[in-house]
Amino acid sequence: VFTSATIDRELGASVFFKAENLQKVGAFKARGATNAVLQLPADITGVVTHSSGNHGQAVAYAASIRELPAWVVMPRTAPALKMDAVRSYGAKVVLCDHAERESTAAEVMERTGAVLVHPFDNSAVIAGQGTVTLELIDQVPDLDVIVAPIGGGGLLSGAATVAGEHEPPIAVIGAEPFAVDDAYRSLRSGIRQSGVPSPVTVADGLLTGIGAQAFAILMAHEVDVVRVTEAAILEAASFLLLRMKLVVEPSGAAPLAAIRTESDRFRDRRVGVIISGGNTDFSWLAAANALTSSRETSP
């Protein structure tokens, strides 16, 4: 857990960053994948999943522990760094269009007999992700609120489950790009909304629409979501890198962007922030630097 006096002064709050970018495979996804894969029956012949990167790496890592073959379906637009990392654990990468991930995974299952380890709509995965919050609450007492990014919702629903059982309960808030705001719309309307078609965001780990199990859990715990701009995400990722010396992918910087975006609701509170991962090729850094330069030169 890291802190920043600069951030605390800026926001008038006490902020604690849970650094899952330093986790195995560089993301919190290792928790849910290992919990799920290690519980699978002894006679399975392999595992398959679909992922933009981090969950794919986690399943590949978990499969390697059991010496199981693994197939990871990834969108062609996924960062090459994440594809290479999946392969480094011995898994096979199957490329497809973003909208075809689930159907392609089904084809792989049919062809190989492998078992699907869903990236978020899986109770064992959600339980594994919940251990992030279990640890954070143990490490930092008296938190008022926990903020985490949301894509499919496994991390946030795990956090809500744990924080909701704490005495007193701890509020949980999600951070989501405006470009992929189906979770925000779903939780506001009470009806699970379809994902944004062909979404474009620097936060590639948050492209997936909210899952059914996660939606039900988040609704039950009355979790709110803050939407953030691409500029806010870039500024947050840049701050974490340059000021706190933490390598954080844009998806993992979304919670800091959310706190800055709606700073009044966090003032004078003890805030836990889950940095979800650090797998990045820094392709976003040029845009972040350009944003900073334009603001420094504007009148």
Which pLDDT band, with edges at 50, 70 and 90, does 213 fall under?
Answer: very high
Residue keyed to tokens 């392999």: 46
How many other β-carbons are positioned within 10 Å of the β-carbon of residue 247? 19
- Backbone CA torsion sign across 259, 127, 32, 22: positive
In the β-sheet with 70-75, what is the strand arrangement from edge to edge?
Answer: 92-96, 70-75, 47-50, 115-116
b vs e for 7-31, b when ≥16 Cβ sit within 10 Å of the residue's Cβ?
A: beeebebbbbbbbbbebbbbbbbbb
Instruction: Give mean pLDDT, residues 71-79.
Output: 90
Q: Side-chain half-sphere of 236: how many Cα atoms within 13 Å?
A: 28
Which residues have C-beta within 8 Å of that of residue 177, sequence separation ≥ 6? 201, 202, 203, 206, 227, 228, 229, 230, 233, 254
Give one DSSP letter per residue of 211-246, joined into a string. PHHHHHHHHHTT-EEEEE-HHHHHHHHHHHHHTT--
For residue 168, whether the previous peptide bond is cis, meaning omega lies within 30 degrees of 0, is yes
Instruction: Cite the active site residues.
Output: 29, 52
Which residues have C-beta within 8 Å of that of residue 206, sequence separation ≥ 6? 149, 150, 151, 176, 177, 180, 251, 254
| C-alpha Rg value of the chain to the nearest Å | 18
Question: What is the Cα–Cα distance from 201 to 180, expressed in whole angstroms?
Answer: 8
How does pLDDT run across 101-130, given as a tens digit for each residue? 889 999 999 999 999 999 888 999 999 999
Cβ contact 254:17 at 8 Å: no
How does pLDDT run across 170-207, given as a tens digit for each residue? 999 999 999 999 999 999 999 999 888 888 899 988 98
The pLDDT of residue 296 is: 60
Which residues have C-beta within 8 Å of that of residue 265, sequence separation ≥ 6? none
Cβ contact 254:175 at 8 Å: yes
Could you tell me the pTM of the whole model? 0.91
Most confident of 43-57, 72-86, 134-148: 134-148
Task: Indicate the SS3 state at residue 158.
Answer: helix
